[in-house]
Amino acid sequence: MSSFREVNYTLRPAKAVERRMLGEMFRRLHPFGRVEDYQYVGFGSIYFSDFQLVHRSLGIDEMISIEKDTNAKACFEFNKPFASIDLIFGHSADVLPLLKWETKSIVWLDYDGRLNLDVLSDISTFCTKAASGSVLVLTVNAQPELDPGEASRNQFAHDHGGKFDVGAYRLSKLEENIPGKVPPGTDGRSLRQYGVASAFYRTIINQIEEQLSVRNSTLRTKDMMAWRQFAHFLYKDDALMLTVGVVVFNETDRTVYDACSFQGLDFVRLDDSPYIIRVPCLTTKELQHLNSQLPAKDPNTRPTCPGVPDRDIDTYREVYRYFPNFSEVLWT
Amino acid sequence: MAESRNEGLQRDPNRINAAPSKEFFIYMLTRDVQLSRAIIDLLDNCVDGAKRLRANGSFDGLWVTITISPDLFSITDNCGGIPVEVARDYAFRFGRPKTAKDTPGSMGLFGVGMKRTFFKLGNRFEVKSKCETEEFDLNVDVNQWVEMGEDDPNDWHFQFSSVTTGIPATPERETGTEIIVTELHPAIQSVFALENFQTQLMSEVTAAHMLSLQRGLGITVNRLPVQLQKPSLFVSDEVQPAVQDLTFERRQLDGKEGEGVHVRLLAGLSIRSYPDGGWYVFCNGRLVLKADKTAASIWGTSHSMRQYHPDFAYFRGYTFFDSAVSALLPWTTTKTGVDIDSALYKAVQQQMIEISKPILAFLSSMAKGQQEGQIDEGALDDSLSIAQSTEIQNITTIAAFRANVKQVPTGPKYGRIQYSKPIEQIEKVKTLMKAKSLKEIGERSFDYFLEYEGGE
């Protein structure tokens, strides 16, 4: 396949699709209460893309952006797109425990790095404090460890005795990321392709279960917090990223959860098999041409477009409603 | 007998009742042991069985399977089973009676672990055992057992559901014990539902029973094999770990005649790891102190030693206590530490401290002149890179610690200067200097001043 069909790295289209899909999911929270009344907590950076979404399309006013880079405060303040975003400087571990958790919250912790103890600790904070109806979304880098160079191979073989084994090496790296939390039975040989993502997925779920179990241990049945997963995405703009989204609710709100009917959305995933976001690279003209044939009256009829492979067309059909429109604009 | 005792109670006004209660064992003693440790207590019994079958041989072909779920707990082995006589007279008693026969080199010795674990887990337990020529089955409902009363502890008893003796010889591989605990307590149920608990248990089993795993015992938790980790130290022409053997006569320990206690100490350098550094203590092959960084081993002012420190992250020490008479060894009933008041332990601890000193002094000298926690890894790593990572069971030559690593050159003494300045100013100087690092800024500005102002 020619390179023009590959992903444009600078624009992160898969991330954009994910953001819109999550927005659609957040909208379904309305049985718990007006979505506008949720507070949103995220890592806005200087682009605040997620804040654009939750304010513009969900109408959420109360927004908190956690920013760990304290050296350029003025820059972040300046780039804040809306007045009601409260910019708090510090690490999420320091900031999260201080938030107003009585309010129903949508918390999207969109990390750049891999799953580690800090992330697990942030999960604990959410699980310990979140109000019924709150949502936690986590995004972490789940790219498999590259086969290391000669020097690292030799070093590893020397330190551990015996010959270098890439599986053992990857498992040791995973153990460095999440010491003491690697899911039982994890085989180093599986830590390729989506293997790291599935180990991280299990670790995240285990952490949620454990923390909620501790929280529930002294509560009356009606106050006990259950959790349900709604999002499990994998996507790759450059590195492979894993996103897991869960909603927590107490026994009293169980029927409310059912009323959200997340299952109505195609890309909802309730278990350990992820929805993989694939984004075909298409020109504006191709997009418009395909859009004009969608949604197809007969789902068995594939839209057509000259020169675009069928596989790309099928992929596009799944995501077209969430597909970003990138265009070049000259600001004067 | 019991009646006369009660009469005695009424008769003698000076007699004070000190009888135990069932509740004490069920509700109180169970608090002293962590759940995962309580499970490992049962595993100790399986390993003792393996030792009875194969006193000094390999454990190949012997296995223990542990199942944890919110509905039931079970542990099954093919390690020989519990003889009916042992079950009837000793194994289920609270505390070990004097008349009980010692399994040479055993891990179970207090007569508390198994029952404590049952009570901690749930309300109903079943023990099925099959030996070479006999088998039994025991079912206990703990609540019913409490309601049975039995104020006189001499009346406390359980009842076999079935006992068969004199059966035709069972092949060794079919002998064994199966323990099932059901009606788990709610708190235990919720923990057993967590995969994280399984992870924790497996990692503790790996550590606690590393020697049994090495001898070939197969252990699985929910069908997943527990991995074997082999502790190792660096050995080369330039780096030699310390190995020392000690023997203690039984007469000096408990006044009795017989075989005493053998102790082996190993200490040296391994892969730099802050959490794994420290001292490891084993009693009859069971790890009781793991990567210790406290006064329980060698660290801190009470031993006139430094506290454990990142500079020591290369350090590992191993102590192996072995005795046919396990009661002589310095364990605690939970086997999660050492009995630091034991005279034997104190004597060994002195030797642990002495054997460590040259190694810690070496690591400190490597760190001298360097920032704390950042040993001059170049020189040390160069030496260690040609050393072989060697499993400690293969390090048997009695020797003193030796490391011929080129040290930080002696000569002028070095001091360290550290200061903070606003980032903007630093960036400005950095640009003017075309410096690559903050360290370079510091050094070059110091040299600059010295050159212009420090002249003779």
How confident is the model over B400-430, as pLDDT tens digits? 998 877 655 555 667 788 889 998 899 999 9
Cβ pair B137, B162 in contact under 8 A: yes
The strand pairing partners of B109, in sequence order, are none
Residue of higher predicted confidence among A274 and B19: A274
Pick A184's closest partner by Cβ from B198, B232, B423.
B198
Does the structure show a pLDDT above 60 at A263?
Answer: yes
Put simply, whether A124 touches B (Cβ < 8 Å) is: no
Predicted pLDDT of residue A327: 65
ipTM of the complex: 0.77
Residue A9's identity, in one-letter code, is Y
Instruction: Residue B51: name the closest of B322, B253, B264 by CA.
Output: B322
Cβ-in-10-Å burial (0-12, 13-18, 19+) of B300 comes to middle
Name the residue in chain B with its Cα closest to that of A179. Answer: B275
Interchain contact, A209 vs B222, CB within 8 Å: no
Helix runs in B157-286, H state only: 186-192, 195-208, 210-214, 250-254
Name the residue in chain A with its Cα closest to that of B269. Answer: A159
Residue of higher predicted confidence among A287 and B56: A287
Q: Which of chain B's residues have a Cβ under 8 Å away from the Cβ of A155?
A: 385
Predicted pLDDT of residue B2: 46
Interchain contact, B199 vs A206, CB within 8 Å: yes
Class of the A3-144+193-276 domain?
Answer: alpha beta
Q: What is the pLDDT of residues B255-288, one digit of tens each?
A: 999 889 999 999 999 988 999 999 999 999 999 9
Length of chain A: 332
CA A243, chain centre distance (Å)? 3
Interchain contact, A184 vs B224, CB within 8 Å: yes
Predicted pLDDT of residue A271: 94
The pTM assigned to this predicted structure is 0.81
Interchain contact, A184 vs B190, CB within 8 Å: no
Q: What is the pLDDT of residues B88-101, one digit of tens each?
A: 988 888 887 777 77
Q: Which of chain B's residues have a Cβ under 8 Å away from the Cβ of A207?
A: 196
Q: Which of chain B's residues have a Cβ under 8 Å away from the Cβ of A180?
A: 199-200, 203
Interchain contact, A184 vs B194, CB within 8 Å: no
Predicted pLDDT of residue B384: 75
Mean pLDDT of B185-210: 95
Choose from A120, A209, A224 for mutation: most chain B CBs within 10 A: A209
Interchain contact, A158 vs B385, CB within 8 Å: yes
Pick B224's closest partner by Cβ from A181, A185, A209.
A185
Interchain contact, A161 vs B388, CB within 8 Å: yes
Predicted confidence band of residue B367 (pLDDT cuts 50, 70, 90):
confident
Cβ pair A196, A173 in contact under 8 A: no
Topology of the domain comprising B232-403: Ribosomal Protein S5; domain 2 (3.30.230)
Q: What is the pLDDT of residues B122-157, one digit of tens each?
A: 999 999 999 999 999 999 999 999 888 777 778 888
Predicted pLDDT of residue B370: 56
* Min Cα–Cα distance to chain A from B19, Å: 34
Name the residue in chain B with its Cα closest to that of A216. Answer: B190
Put simply, whether A183 touches B (Cβ < 8 Å) is: yes
Q: Which of chain B's residues have a Cβ under 8 Å away from the Cβ of A181?
A: 196, 199
Choose from B195, B198, B290, B392 for mutation: most chain A CBs within 10 A: B195
> How far apart, in whole angstroms, are the C-alpha atoms of residue B35 and residue B185?
12
Q: Which of chain B's residues have a Cβ under 8 Å away from the Cβ of A209?
A: 193-196
What's the mean per-residue pLDDT of chain A?
A: 91
Q: Which of chain B's residues have a Cβ under 8 Å away from the Cβ of A183?
A: 195, 199
Instruction: Residue B207: name the closest of B137, B275, B268 by CA.
Output: B275
Q: Where in chain A is the domain with CATH 3.40.50.150?
A: 3-144+193-276
Predicted pLDDT of residue B265: 97
Interchain contact, A180 vs B200, CB within 8 Å: yes
Cβ-in-10-Å burial (0-12, 13-18, 19+) of A277 comes to buried
Phi-psi region of A52 (alpha: psi -120 to 50; beta: other; left: phi over 0): alpha
Put simply, whether A186 touches B (Cβ < 8 Å) is: no
Predicted pLDDT of residue B217: 96
Predicted confidence band of residue B3 (pLDDT cuts 50, 70, 90):
very low
Put simply, whether A163 touches B (Cβ < 8 Å) is: no
CB pairs under 8 A between A and B: 51
Put simply, whether A180 touches B (Cβ < 8 Å) is: yes
**Eight-state DSSP code of residue B184:** E
* Min Cα–Cα distance to chain B from A79, Å: 22
Interchain contact, B222 vs A158, CB within 8 Å: no
Predicted pLDDT of residue B375: 55
Interchain contact, A184 vs B221, CB within 8 Å: yes
Residue of higher predicted confidence among A331 and A296: A296
Helix or strand (DSSP H, E) at A18: helix A13-27
Percent of chain B with pLDDT over 90: 56
Cβ pair A244, A269 in contact under 8 A: no
Q: A250-275 as b/e, with b when 16 or more CB fall inside 10 Å?
A: bbebeebbeebebeebebbbeeeebb
Put simply, whether A182 touches B (Cβ < 8 Å) is: yes
Predicted pLDDT of residue B372: 45
Interchain contact, A159 vs B203, CB within 8 Å: no
Helix runs in A57-177, H state only: 73-79, 92-95, 117-129, 150-160, 166-177
* Min Cα–Cα distance to chain A from B196, Å: 6
Class of the B20-225 domain?
Answer: alpha beta
Residue of higher predicted confidence among A262 and B19: A262
Question: Which chain B residues touch A if contact means CB-CB below 8 Å?
Answer: 187, 190-191, 193-200, 202-203, 221-222, 224, 230, 232, 271, 275, 385, 388-391, 423
* Min Cα–Cα distance to chain A from B325, Å: 35
Does the structure show a pLDDT above 50 at B1?
Answer: no
Lowest-confidence pick of A120-129, B148-157, B187-196:
B148-157
Mean pLDDT of A126-136: 96
Q: Which of chain A's residues have a Cβ under 8 Å away from the Cβ of B423?
A: 71
Q: Which of chain A's residues have a Cβ under 8 Å away from the Cβ of B203?
A: 180
> How far apart, in whole angstroms, are the C-alpha atoms of residue B39 and residue B113?
9
Choose from B67, B199, B385 for mutation: most chain A CBs within 10 A: B199
Angle at B210 between CA B56 and CA B55, to 5 degrees: 10
Residue of higher predicted confidence among A245 and B377: A245
Predicted pLDDT of residue B140: 95
> Between the ranges A71-85, A312-326, B22-36, B355-369, where is the mean pLDDT highest?
A71-85
> How far apart, in whole angstroms, are the C-alpha atoms of residue A95 and residue A98?
6
Put simply, whether A70 touches B (Cβ < 8 Å) is: no
> How far apart, in whole angstroms, are the C-alpha atoms of residue A86 and residue A179?
34
Can you tell me which residue has the tokens 């993502």?
A197
Pick B194's closest partner by Cβ from A160, A185, A206.
A206
Q: What residue segments make up the domains of chain B, in order of their start?
A: 20-225, 232-403, 423-453
Q: Which of chain A's residues have a Cβ under 8 Å away from the Cβ of B388?
A: 161
How many other C-beta atoms are found inside a 10 Å radius of the C-beta of residue B111? Answer: 17
Predicted pLDDT of residue B410: 52
